[in-house]
Amino acid sequence: MKKLVSVVLALVMIFALTATVVAETNPSPTPKEHYNIVVEYDPSDGSLGTADGDKKTVEVDAVGEDGEVKLTAVEKGNGEFVKWTIEGDYEIISGSLTDPVLVIKPKSDIHAIAYFTQPGSTPDSPSKPSNPDEGKSSPKTGDPLWIVLGLSVLALGLGAVAVKKIKA
* Claim to verify: residue 18 and residue 60 sit in the same structural domain: no
Three-class DSSP category at 116 = strand
What's residue 46's pLDDT?
79
User: Would you say residue 89 lies in a domain?
Assistant: yes
Range of the domain at 152: 2-29+144-167
Q: In one letter, which amino acid is 20?
A: T
Question: With b meaning 16 or more CB within 10 Å and e meaning fewer, what string describes 1-20?
Answer: eeeeeebeeebeeebeebee
What's residue 115's pLDDT?
92
What's residue 63's pLDDT?
38
What's residue 53's pLDDT?
75
* Claim to verify: residue 72 and residue 111 sit in the same structural domain: yes
The sheet with strand 90-94 has its strands ordered as 49-53, 69-75, 101-106, 90-94
Provide the β-strand partners of residue 87: 111
User: Would you say residue 124 lies in a domain?
Assistant: no
User: Would you say residue 162 lies in a domain?
Assistant: yes
Number of domains comprising the chain: 2
* Claim to verify: residue 10 and residue 81 sit in the same structural domain: no
Regions of the chain short of the pLDDT cut 50: 23-24, 61-64, 125-134
* Claim to verify: residue 112 and residue 39 sit in the same structural domain: yes
* Claim to verify: residue 48 and residue 79 sit in the same structural domain: yes
User: Would you say residue 126 lies in a domain?
Assistant: no
What's residue 145's pLDDT?
67
User: Would you say residue 125 lies in a domain?
Assistant: no
* Claim to verify: residue 50 and residue 7 sit in the same structural domain: no
Spatial separation of the C-alpha atoms in residues 30 and 43, rounded to whole Å: 37
* Claim to verify: residue 47 and residue 104 sit in the same structural domain: yes
User: Would you say residue 107 lies in a domain?
Assistant: yes
* Claim to verify: residue 105 and residue 43 sit in the same structural domain: yes
User: Would you say residue 44 lies in a domain?
Assistant: yes
* Claim to verify: residue 43 and residue 113 sit in the same structural domain: yes
* Claim to verify: residue 41 and residue 84 sit in the same structural domain: yes
What's residue 87's pLDDT?
93
User: Would you say residue 18 lies in a domain?
Assistant: yes
